[in-house]
Chain A
Amino acid sequence: MPDTKSAVVMDADRISRTLTRIAHEIVERNKGVEDLALVGVRTRGVHIARRLARTLREITKNDIPTGALDITLYRDDLMRFAVGPQPVVRRTEIPFSIDDKKILLVDDVLYTGRTTRAALDALIDFGRPKAIQLIVLVDRGHRELPIKADYVGKNLPTNPEESVRVRLQETDGQDEVVLQQEATV
């Protein structure tokens, strides 16, 4: 980590303002919050979804059902290499029916689109939503699948060699989005 060049592209204030703006866009586009539900993709998507739920409650005085989705078992690279540790599976918690709801799927970074593809497949196993809309904090480009976000916090042009780190208070102790010149593991 020490020798990599990195730049903060969003700080705490910027992230907070961005999420507030997205919350307003959600209300505008859906003409209210009726039938809406938030589903965050583990790990950081869940925290962003909860923050959006809080903001939406402040704006509309309505509670939006919020769930957490783990997409590990739907990954397209699970058995690609015959040997190696399996990715850690965490609990999916969607404590409401998604049938006929408009699902707001939330993730931190949109990149190849493969995570979103997995999340869409996983969601469909829970029922038949009326619609699914995609919310991402950062869209860094380089899509490998025909997937497009409905709400984007920040469009961030990147090289494939770069890595985008979203850090959140809940998981990392501070809010920031960092662009690193070299991918670190």
Chain B
Amino acid sequence: MTTVHDVEQKPAVISLRSKDLLGIAEMLPEEITLVLDTADAMKEIASRPIKKVPALRGKTVVNLFFEPSTRTRTSFEIAEKRLSADTLNIAIATSSVVKGETLADTAMNLEAMRPDMIVLRHSSSGACHLLSRICRSAIINAGDGTHEHPTQALLDAFTIREHKKRLKGLKVAIVGDLLHSRVLRSNIHLLTKMGADVWVCGPPTLMPTDIRRFGVTPTSHVEDAVAGADVIMMLRIQLERMEGAYFPSLREYFSVFGMTEERVKRANPDVMIMHPGPMNRGVEIASEVADGPYSVILEQVANGVAVRMAVLYLLAGGADYEEAA
């Protein structure tokens, strides 16, 4: 960045309507734009010698993770620290959950210590909605079952917007395990709300039956999905969530759906290749593609911090103990 921005447009909305971020489904396009614009301002902080601003001084954020996560948890923690919030991490292996405590009880006990925000990852879809009803703290969904992963979709959109300057009218091909992916659901909501042309592609066994209802074009031919695409978004094959045999073998999957250089050539010349991580190299994506010139996978990780700072900042004005008490 060597020039000073000239644009000083007034945002369409100046705050989020909800005290929580549960999913993209509940958000208005204007709210999505507000998060992305705020993230744009937050991104610069990472380039400073002192990567910390005092905005959330005195706020306590609990990162409550019932599922393994490196990227998302680290990203939230860095975002919280850069905003000067006090953070604490609760991982399932060390918590009372192993002693049989329910999610609601865990949350009520944490609530008694008056945190301001709870970042929750849980294997059950709807876990965040449950907490939002019983907690006064702001609840941020960091992935609930196969339901939503809103901050991932927001950081994907932020990365696309940085490169393409828009979301509207872009052809986005999402390829992989459609059935188990919360990243897919959040991205479909976000991209269709913002006017993108979304194609989803995967084996018929991993294709949700009612997927057309979300305004996307389903196909099981990866060549059709990527033809002329501006963005190719790969989804991980989630072996840990699969209880049956959805396809013959990982090698077979790669040969039919794996993103190879050959297939990327069918897309637009300036296509972006995205992956929410963690990648299974040689299963859904070839190493040459993951490390290739079109790959923005590591940019996504960097942008994740800025987007989560934006969400934390915007929600920090939300919950009021005195009013709610």
State the A residues within 8 Å of B (CB).
42-43, 46, 50, 66-68, 70, 72-74, 78-79, 82-86, 88-93, 95, 121-122, 125-127, 171
Task: Provide the residues of chain B in CB contact with A90, threshold 8 Å.
Answer: 5, 8, 41
Whether A82 pairs with B323 at a CB distance below 8 angstroms is: yes
CB-CB nearest in chain A for B317:
A86
Task: Provide the residues of chain B in CB contact with A50, threshold 8 Å.
Answer: 4
Tally of contact residues, B, Cβ under 8 A: 40
State the B residues within 8 Å of A (CB).
1-5, 8, 11, 14-15, 37-38, 40-45, 48-50, 52-59, 83, 310, 313-314, 316-323
**A121 CA / B52 CA spacing, docked (Å):** 11
With A79-B58, A86-B15, A125-B53 in contact, is A92–B41 under 8 Å at CB? Answer: yes
CB-CB nearest in chain B for A40:
B4
Task: Provide the residues of chain B in CB contact with A86, threshold 8 Å.
Answer: 14-15, 313-314, 316-317
Task: Provide the residues of chain B in CB contact with A72, threshold 8 Å.
Answer: 55
The 7 closest A-B pairs by CB, nearest first: A85-B15, A73-B53, A73-B55, A82-B320, A86-B317, A125-B50, A83-B320
Closest chain A CB from B58 CB (angstroms) = 7
Whether B317 pairs with A84 at a CB distance below 8 angstroms is: yes
**A125 CA / B5 CA spacing, docked (Å):** 21
CB-CB nearest in chain B for A49:
B4
**A99 CA / B320 CA spacing, docked (Å):** 41
Contact of B4 among A66, A73, A78, A85 (CB under 8 A): A66
Closest chain A CB from B138 CB (angstroms) = 11
CB-CB nearest in chain A for B51:
A125
**A126 CA / B14 CA spacing, docked (Å):** 28
Whether A91 pairs with B41 at a CB distance below 8 angstroms is: yes
